[in-house]
Amino acid sequence: MCASTSSQRSQFGVNNHRNFITWFFVLLLIIYLIYSTNIIFKEDDCPSSSSLSSSNISTSEALSTNVSSFTLQDQQQERTKEYVRKKEPETELKHIVFGIAASSSLWDQRKEYIKLWWKPGETRGVVWLDEKVKTNRNEGLPDIRISDDTSNFQYTNQQGIRSALRISRVVSETLRLGLRDVRWFVMGDDDTVFIVENVVRVLSKYDHNQYYYIGSSSESHVQNMFFSYAMAYGGGGFAISYPLAKELEKMQDHCIQRYPGLYGSDDRIQACMAELGVPLTKERGFHQYDVYGNLLGLLGAHPVTPLVSLHHLDVVDPIFPGMSRVSGLQRLFESAKLDSASLMQQSICYDKDRYWSISVSWGYVVQIIRGNISPRELEMPTRTFLNWYKRADYTAYAFNTRPVTKHPCQKPFVYYMNMAKFDRSKNQIIGIYYRHREPSPYCRWKSESPENINNIVLLKKPDFNRWKKSPRRDCCGVLPSNNNSKSNLYMWVGNCRDGEISEL
How confident is the model over 461-486, as a mean pLDDT? 90
Model confidence band, residue 47 (pLDDT cutoffs 50, 70, 90): very low
| pLDDT greater than 80 at residue 80 | no
CB neighbourhood size of 395 (10 A): 8
| pLDDT greater than 80 at residue 451 | yes
Instruction: For residue 165, report the phi and psi dihedrals to the nearest 5 degrees.
Output: -65, -45
Instruction: For residue 90, report the phi and psi dihedrals to the nearest 5 degrees.
Output: -60, 155
Mapping DSSP onto H, E and C, the string for 224-267 reads: HHHCCCCCCCCCCCEEEEHHHHHHHHHHHHHHHHCCCCCCCHHH
CB neighbourhood size of 296 (10 A): 24
Nearest CA to 348 among 455, 501, 479, 452? 501
Identify the pLDDT of residue 227: 94
| pLDDT greater than 80 at residue 48 | no
Identify the pLDDT of residue 135: 87
CA distance 414 to 433: 9
Q: What is the DSSP string of 191-204?
A: T-EE-HHHHHHHHT
Convert the pLDDT of each residue in 342-373 to its tens digit.
Answer: 999 999 999 999 999 999 999 999 999 999 99
Which amino acid makes up residue 265?
S
Task: Identify whether the C-beta of residue 435 lies closer than 8 Å to the C-beta of residue 457.
Answer: no
| pLDDT greater than 50 at residue 12 | no
Nearest CA to 236 among 388, 396, 346, 95? 388
Q: What percent of the chain has pLDDT over 70?
A: 84
Q: Where is mean pLDDT largest: 18-27, 65-74, 99-108? A: 99-108
Identify the pLDDT of residue 30: 73
Identify the pLDDT of residue 382: 97
Structural element, H or E, at residue 275: helix 265-276
- Residue 365, classed as helix, strand or coil, is strand
How confident is the model over 464-483, as a mean pLDDT? 92
Identify the pLDDT of residue 29: 72
CA distance 27 to 295: 110
Identify the pLDDT of residue 485: 72
Convert the pLDDT of each residue in 152-204 to its tens digit.
Answer: 999 999 999 999 999 999 999 999 999 999 999 999 999 999 999 999 999 99
Task: Identify whether the C-beta of residue 260 lies closer than 8 Å to the C-beta of residue 154.
Answer: yes
Identify the pLDDT of residue 81: 57
- Residue 140, classed as helix, strand or coil, is coil
| pLDDT greater than 60 at residue 60 | no
Order across the sheet with 143-146: list the strands: 143-146, 124-129, 96-101, 184-189, 238-241, 213-215, 281-282
Task: Identify whether the C-beta of residue 120 lies closer than 8 Å to the C-beta of residue 98.
Answer: no
Structural element, H or E, at residue 8: helix 2-45
- Residue 494, classed as helix, strand or coil, is strand
Identify the pLDDT of residue 40: 46
Identify the pLDDT of residue 297: 97
Convert the pLDDT of each residue in 97-143 to its tens digit.
Answer: 999 999 999 999 999 999 999 999 999 999 999 999 998 888 889 99
Identify the pLDDT of residue 70: 56
Interior CA angle at 476 toward 470 and 478, to 5°?
170
Nearest CA to 415 among 382, 455, 363, 458? 455
Nearest CA to 363 among 387, 385, 334? 334
Task: Identify whether the C-beta of residue 97 lies closer than 8 Å to the C-beta of residue 185.
Answer: yes
Nearest CA to 474 among 358, 373, 377? 358
| pLDDT greater than 50 at residue 383 | yes
Q: pTM for this structure?
A: 0.83
Identify the pLDDT of residue 44: 47
| pLDDT greater than 90 at residue 78 | no
5 CB burial (10 A radius; 0-12, 13-18, 19+): exposed
How confident is the model over 234-244, as a mean pLDDT? 97
Average pLDDT value over all residues in the chain: 89
Strand pairing class (96-101; 184-189): parallel
Identify the pLDDT of residue 231: 97
CA distance 20 to 38: 27
